[in-house]
Amino acid sequence: MTAHTPRMDNIDMAGKVCVVTGAASGMGRIAARELAVMGATLILCDREVEEGAQARDDIIALSGNAKVDFVPCDMGDLDHVRRFAGHILSTYNRVDVLINNAGLTDPEYKLTPQGQEQHFAIMHLGHYLLIHLLKERLMESAPARIIQISSDAHKTGPGLDFDDLASKTVWKGRRYAHGAAFKAYHRAKLAMVLATYHLAEQFKDTGVTINAVSPGYFIATNIYRHMRGVMKLGTQIFRPFFMDPERSAQTYVFLASSPDVEGITGKYWEYCKEKDTSPLSHDPDLRKKLIAETHRLLGLPV
């Protein structure tokens, strides 16, 4: 792809059903707004219920498109994910785009109801399960697109520890640890890239594509809202210099709607250009082990 921002004017998404997780704020909300302006039917979810409902109302008001649905869902709670998928399947007869955007960085050590560390659960396990539950509808709706919001943070750590995917030893018994949170974030985003490469192979010749995205570095969203102490102060001081989330979200919209990427799958994108991922993400043994463990944790057939 060339370095210029691709034109997305006059793309008509009417009749397309687009699912966006983590859409109450930030780049998920921006992407949902832009797709609504294009005429798409939107299904949004977030665990922030009031903020999510407000996002829905604001998107409807701004776009003039009333086909925007908000469903409360914590992507880290697998029971919530199953209910969310059930709502989609029972209410909509197609799914054309799935944007797996929900994410966080939180220095507090928290386990989900299923006993998994929250970063890994929200960003990898929950989204992997959602893809699995919607895969038949996606294939029936083909050509369909899945977009995994990862991060270049997947390049910044030592990789996955299959003896400690719940990251208990990472926090070392502490309740709060920013370094541990960044390591957990790295693991989750690496898992998303590995899963993208695996699923691109699984969806081969079905008409369903899947690509991963790096939004860029230090984006001015509320992903930093859980920071504490000096880290919180640092984000407040430097926030005016962070990148514009509107620019970052354009890659989401580009991959969801542009005819330029029709049929392209198993790639990694930043600012609407392809780029490479880490050497670890290309390790076939690591990928195979992650998928096997993911299926075990989710109770899926291998």
pLDDT tens column, 32-75:
999 999 999 999 999 999 999 999 999 999 999 999 999 999 99
Q: Is the pLDDT of residue 223 over 80?
A: no
Q: Which residues are paired to 210 by β-bridges?
A: 146
Round the average pLDDT of the chain to a whole number and report it.
Answer: 91
Percent of the chain past pLDDT 90, that is, above it, reads 85
What average pLDDT does range 162-184 have in this prediction?
95
Report, as residue numbers or ranges, the catalytic residues.
185
pLDDT for position 245: 75
Domain extent at residue 236: 17-293
Sheet containing 68-72, strands listed edge to edge, beginning at the edge strand earlier in sequence: 68-72, 41-46, 17-21, 97-100, 144-149, 208-213, 268-270, 273-274
Q: Hey, what long-range contacts does 234-238 have (CB within 8 A, 24 or more apart)?
A: none
User: pLDDT tens digits, residue range 19-32?
Assistant: 999 999 999 999 99
Cα angle at 293 between 288 and 294, to 5 degrees?
95
pTM of the model: 0.92
Domain assignment present for residue 3? The answer is no
pLDDT in the model for residue 236 = 47
- The whole-number pLDDT of residue 239 equals 40
* pLDDT level of residue 232 (50, 70, 90 thresholds): very low
Q: pLDDT digit string (tens) for 270-300? A: 999 999 999 999 999 999 999 999 999 999 9
pLDDT of residue 221: 53
Strand-pair partners of 256: none
In a domain, 1, yes or no: no
Which of left, alpha, beta for 299 (phi over 0: left; psi -120 to 50: alpha)?
A: left
User: What does the angle CA 241 – CA 243 – CA 245 come to, to the nearest 5 degrees?
Assistant: 135
CA distance linking residue 176 with residue 109, whole number of Å: 6
On whether the CB atoms of residues 146 and 202 are closer than 8 A, the answer is: no
Direct distance between the N- and C-terminal alpha carbons of the chain, in angstroms, rounded to an integer? 36
Rounded Cα–Cα distance for residues 260 and 50 (Å): 36
Pick from 119, 84, 259, 260: which is nearest to 190 by CA?
119
pLDDT exceeds 80 at position 217: no
- Mean pLDDT, rounded, for 244-268: 94
**Is the confidence at residue 233, as pLDDT, over 50?**
no
Is 11 part of any domain? no
What is the predicted pLDDT for the residue at 240? 45
Q: What is the pLDDT of residue 2?
A: 37
Is residue 298 assigned to a domain?
Answer: no
Q: Would you state the pLDDT for residue 227?
A: 44
CATH assignment of the domain containing 220 = 3.40.50.720
DSSP state at residue 121:
I
Query: Per the domain annotation, does 156 fall within a domain?
Result: yes
Is residue 302 assigned to a domain?
Answer: no
Residue 9 lies in a domain: no
Instruction: For residue 22, give Cα distances in angstroms to 32, 43, 100.
Output: 10, 11, 8
The number of distinct structural domains making up the chain is 1
User: How would you class 232 by CB atoms within 10 Å of its CB: exposed for 0-12, middle for 13-18, buried for 19 or more?
Assistant: middle
| Confidence at 4, pLDDT banded by 50, 70, 90 | very low
pLDDT the model gives residue 14:
98
b/e string for 60-98 if b means 16 or more Cβ within 10 A? beebebeebbbbbbbbbbbebbeebbeebeeebeebbbb
Average pLDDT over residues 157-185: 95
pLDDT at 230 over 70: no
| Among candidate residues 102, 100, 95, 84, the one with its CA nearest the CA of residue 42 | 95
Residue 221 within any structural domain of the chain: yes
Count Cβ atoms within 10 A of the Cβ of residue 249 and give its class: 0-12 exposed, 13-18 middle, 19 or more buried: buried
Q: Is 10 helix (H, G, I), strand (E, B) or coil?
A: coil
CB 82 within 8 A of CB 94: no
- Residue 7 pLDDT more than 70? no
Q: What is the dihedral of CA 181, 186, 192, 195, to 10 degrees?
A: -120
More confident residue, 221 or 181: 181
- Given a cut of 60, whether residue 261 has pLDDT beyond it is yes
